[in-house]
Amino acid sequence: MQSIHGEKSLNMARILVLDDEENMRRVLEVLLQKDGHVVDQAQDLAAARRILAAEACDLVLADQRLPDGEGLALVPECRAMEPPVPVILLTAYASIDLAVSALREGAFDFLTKPFNPGVLRGAVHRAFEHVSLLRENLRLKNELVRLNATGDLVGRSPAMTRLRELIGRVAPASATVLITGETGTGKELVARAIHQSSARSSKPLLIVNCAAVAEQLLESQLFGHERGAFTGADRAHRGFFEAADEGTLFLDEAGEMSLGLQAKLLRVLMDGEVMRVGASSPRHVDVRVLVATHRDLQRMVAEGRFREDLYYRLNVVPIPVPPLRQRREDVAPLLEHFLVQVALEMKVPRRRVSSAALARLTNYDFPGNVRELRNLVERAYILGRNELLEAEDFSLAAEPASSVAEDPLGPVLSRLPESINLREVLEDLERALLHRALEQSGGVQAEAGRQLGLSRSDMVYRVRKYGLESETR
């Protein structure tokens, strides 16, 4: 007889019935056997313990008053088993006190005799659901550990293998690392992996999103401030650089830093010294800096929006994280990973994906990269009707994404729901519109400007701002 496991049927389980009255045991046995269960019988605690030690029972129905003690005594024993066995207590002498202690001890349910068969069945069914979820969860945790045996970065494409090697090589050094890649490619995960495999792993890793904070606040967050440095600074405050001393500081979205802050960052990188806002002397820090951006920093340098000296300083070790559409072999293992991860998070049984759906996903272009894949899996768990997820459950855009990508507006628009930085979105939009107008006018600036309703000088200014000179005639 097989005991219940994971998503397998709950129909045939092994149930121990513990009651000193033979009649009661018979009634329960008949009822449970009718539902397809296998029933063991015990008339006292000692017999019950012998059976529990010898058999893998899935559930215990225990009378409270027994010749050699209380049914309640079994509850903690069964909970401590591996896996835990739920106990439903039955009693003819119900009292509030007993019910409370039963539930406190962790009894799964508490029924008073006489009970009608429907109530008992309901309780048994709920107990099985509970057990199967517990077991499924345990299994998923093991599966996740197995999937993750090689670290957090899932994927077996040549690009991922190279990425892992690169991480392994740069981690031990204290060099600054520039992690680049589109949104959702896993830049933060790479930063975490570098910290984890460095000698600094027992020290803090602090993460600052430079795009999320206003400039002045960012400065005092990073470098700290002295008391009275500005209105409202009624206490001295140490910044992230000081807090990350001996550890790692990850500056996410570093492309969003103002030129002023860039200068200050350069100083820390060169001298290892931070200057709190309002301070008169610097403090020494030992911090490894990791930087990420989805921006093209080289282009920002050309546009005068990013300091060239800082760029070279950061770019000593560049780590580009390729978009998912350039490593489609990673879609299947990532999908597996997320199917397990999301099931664990939502505490629901794991689901699978039909081969048709997998084929669609593998061919999809993922403008939002790995994060988009994860979001699709989450949504499929919520919307999907069956254990086997189909292509519809992932609600991929009906149009193949590649045809969207040919439209210069496509990448911009597809980024919109992910993005929260309006300035950046508008700039990208502006660049894309300029690009399209220049294309349509054959590179004639005056004509493109007319199309966009821009004056001649305005057009010239913008072409220079976005480095589009090569597209003009």
For 349, other C-beta atoms within 10 Å of its C-beta total 16
Q: Does 393 bind Mg ion (CB under 5 A)?
A: no
| Cβ nearer to ligand ATP, comparing 154 with 319 | 154
- Residue 322 interacts with ligand ATP (CB under 6 A)? no
Do residues 18 and 61 lie in contact, with contact meaning Cβ atoms separated by under 8 Å? Answer: yes
Cα–Cα dist 21/41, whole Å: 11
Q: Edge-to-edge strands of the sheet including 317-320?
A: 205-209, 248-252, 288-293, 177-180, 317-320
The interface region with ligand ATP, picked from 95-103, 179-187, 229-237, 239-247 by CB under 6 A, is 179-187
Structure token digits, residue 467: 């480095």
Contact yes or no for 418/370 (Cβ under 8 A)? no
Phi/psi of residue 383, each to 5°? -95, -25
Q: Is 187 an interacting residue with respect to ligand ATP (CB under 6 A)?
A: yes
Does position 371 interact with ligand ATP (CB under 6 A)? The reply is: yes
What would the two tokens of residue 372 be?
């988009």
Residue 102 interacting entry, from ligand ATP, Mg ion, none, C-beta within 5 to 8 Å by type: none
State the amino acid at position 210 in one-letter form.
Answer: C
Q: How many residues bind Mg ion (CB under 5 A)?
A: 1
Q: How far apart are CA 320 and CA 47, in angstroms?
A: 65
The conformation of residue 70, written as its DSSP 8-state character, comes to E
The shares of helix, strand and coil residues in the chain, as percent rounded to the nearest 5, are 50, 15, 35
Q: Which stretch binds ligand ATP (CB under 6 A): 51-59, 170-178, 185-193, 310-318?
A: 185-193
The residue sitting closest to ligand ATP, measured at its beta carbon, is 186
**Least Å from the CB of residue 212 to Mg ion:** 11
- What φ, ψ does residue 135 adopt, rounded to 5°? -70, -40
Which residue, 332, 348, 430, 418, is CA-closest to 383? 348
Cα separation, 57 vs 51, in Å, equals 8
**Half-sphere exposure at residue 50, Cβ-oriented, CA atoms within 13 angstroms:** 8
Token pair for residue 383? 């919307």
Binders of ligand ATP among 387-426, rule CB under 6 A? none
Work out how close the CB of 306 gets to Mg ion at its nearest, in angstroms, rounded to a whole number.
18
Spatial distance between the Cα atoms of 295 and 410, rounded to a whole number of angstroms? 17
Tell me if 188 contacts Mg ion by CB under 5 A: yes
> 19 near 8, Cβ under 8 Å?
no
Q: Is 132 in the site for ligand ATP (CB under 6 A)?
A: no
Q: Give the nearest distance from C-beta 185 to ligand ATP in angstroms.
A: 4
Closer residue to ligand ATP, CB minimum distance, 91 or 198: 198
Site string for ligand ATP, 148-177 (x = CB under 6 A): -----xxx----------------------
Q: Say which entry of Mg ion, ligand ATP, none residue 153 contacts (CB below 5 to 8 A, set by partner kind).
A: ligand ATP
Among 185, 198, 262, 445, binds ligand ATP (CB under 6 A): 185
Q: Are strands 317-320 and 177-180 parallel, antiparallel or unpaired?
A: parallel
363-392 in b/e form (b: 16+ CB < 10 A) is ebbbbbbbbbbbbbbeebbeebeeeebebe
Element of type H or E holding 91? strand 87-91
Nearest residue (CB) to ligand ATP, 187 versus 462: 187
CB of 326 to Mg ion, least distance (A): 18
| C-beta of residue 250 within 8 angstroms of C-beta of residue 208 | yes
| Cβ distance to ligand ATP smaller for residue 133 or 189 | 189
| DSSP structure class, residue 277 | B
Report, in Å, the least distance between residue 401 CB and ligand ATP: 18
For residue 7, give both structure tokens: 């998503």
Q: How many residues bind ligand ATP (CB under 6 A)?
A: 17
From the list 117-125, 186-194, 236-244, 386-394, the region that binds ligand ATP by CB under 6 A is: 186-194
* Residue least distant from Mg ion (Cβ): 188
Q: Is 372 in the site for Mg ion (CB under 5 A)?
A: no
**Residue 238 contacts which entry, Mg ion, ligand ATP, none (Cβ below 5-8 A, type-dependent):** none
> Should residue 337 be labelled a site residue for ligand ATP when binding is judged by CB under 6 A?
yes
Q: What does the per-residue mask of binding to ligand ATP show for 264-303, with x meaning CB under 6 A?
A: ------------------------------x---------
Q: Cβ of residue 371: shortest distance to Mg ion, in angstroms?
A: 9
CB of 404 to Mg ion, least distance (A): 23
Whether the Cβ atoms of residue 186 and residue 198 lie closer than 8 Å to each other = no
The minimum distance between CB 403 and ligand ATP, in angstroms, equals 24
Closer Cβ to ligand ATP, 66 or 179, answer by number: 179
List the one residue from 183, 315, 363, 472 that touches ligand ATP (CB under 6 A): 183
Cα–Cα distances (Å) from 446 to 292, 434, 438, 442, 460, in that order, read 38, 12, 9, 11, 9
> Least separation, in Å, of the C-beta of 42 and Mg ion?
58
336 binds ligand ATP (CB under 6 A): no
Answer yes or no whether residue 109 interacts with Mg ion by CB under 5 A. no
Q: Could you tell me where the beta strands, DSSP code E, fall in 233-380? A: 248-252, 273-274, 283-284, 288-293, 317-320, 352-353
> Which residues contribute to the site for ligand ATP (CB under 6 A)?
153-155, 181, 183-189, 294, 334, 337, 370-371, 374
